[in-house]
Amino acid sequence: MKRRGFDRTRVRRLLIVLPTILLLLGNLPGAALAAPDDGVARKSMFLDLGGAPAEEIAARVQTICAEHRDPNNDNYIMNVVLVGVVDPAGDLRVDQLRAVLPHVPGGGQATCFENVFVGPTQLDVGQLPWKTRADFPQNLEPWCADNPYCGGILTPSWRWDNIEASREAADLFLGFVDLHYPGVRANLHWYVTYEAYFDWLGGNAYSDDVRNAYTAYLLEMVRAYNQALIYAGEPPASASRAVLWSPTYESSYYVHSPLELNRIRDNLRYMFHNIQVTAAGEGINRGVDWLDMQDKLGQTDCFSVECYLGVKQWYDFLATVSFPEFSFASLRVNMELFSSNLPGPDPNEHMARQNFYDANGIPIGASWELRFWSGPRL
């Protein structure tokens, strides 16, 4: 069965044309870029500890400390999300950690972020390693089999290896923190590094299986993080922390039928609610309730108002996932600051996109990534 909407030419055409039609018809209130026009917006930052030497990270952090700490200013940087805490050999990136940890809550020096989220690690997906596993599902269609968010997540041993790698990295990180920055443990939160196409939870033959696999995976990550804190000495009553996730979409909102969109919403509700209820039954007070949707514009190099409108449609859709039994504690957009084709960030495009998000009530969350940030004026 060919998955509906996988034709990328069709997807891009719909991404561009349909929002323009809706805008002309006046069906998207506030979509015009009238105000604000300063190009500045509050946001948080991802920091990939494997992406830059410690000296560069330290300089960037010092810029935030010096120029982005006034909560009354639009250029306020709120939180930092640390990823790449360990290198491919499983060793802590100590120098890079020393460049940032003193400036997170409890770090002992000037606090430059409201919260720190830690995403310990993720196994490399480059060679499609799940396909070599004995429990890899047979007879998957190639688009699913070759993708970590379908064939990968559907392979139980691959899921467990990622969980165990994160658990081991979390233990290493907490041991280092307790030795060198003992005030940090009481203040840190967690990030799940393994991503997803959330629209694959509806509209294809594997949607329910993918939902179940992600439910199992995310629940185990919540358990692993909680247990790592307890093992480090945190009282169980205070071991429940916020858990942030940053999935994205594979296809444009407009290629999905109303039936598919309803199915995606139902499966997302089931997944997040099930995680929350199961965790609560085990004495863990929080599930995965922080979500920063990747806007995917850096990956697609789609930097136009029409593409911004496509992001708005998906953000507004995710806002409907909240229902009486579950709601996000934080729902924001991960503004991709990079470009797949440009050698560096485009400050003018960043300003235009931030203006659009601000004008349309789309809060910016942790954005990928500090290396691609346009710098002090943004």
Matching residue, tokens 């994160």:
166
For residues 30 and 360, the answer to whether their CB atoms sit within 8 Å is yes
Taking the chain (378 residues) in runs of 10, the rounded mean pLDDT of each run is 37 43 36 50 96 96 94 93 96 98 98 97 97 97 98 98 98 98 97 98 96 98 98 95 98 96 98 98 96 96 94 98 95 95 83 94 96 72
Rounded to whole angstroms, the Cα distance separating 158 from 193 reads: 14
Q: Where are the chain's structural domains?
A: 42-372
pLDDT score recorded for residue 30: 34
| Range list of β-strands (E), 1-129 | 43-48, 77-83, 116-119
Q: How many C-beta atoms lie closer than 10 Å to residue 36's C-beta?
A: 13
pLDDT score recorded for residue 343: 74
Residue range 42-372 forms a domain whose CATH class is: alpha beta
Q: Which two tokens stand for residue 354?
A: 């931030």
Please tell me whether residue 294 adopts helix, strand or coil conformation. strand
Matching residue, tokens 């309803």:
262
Name beta bridge partners: 45.
80, 367
pLDDT score recorded for residue 344: 74
pLDDT score recorded for residue 376: 55
Q: Which two tokens stand for residue 332?
A: 């924001």
Rounded to whole angstroms, the Cα distance separating 268 from 253 reads: 15
pTM comes to 0.90
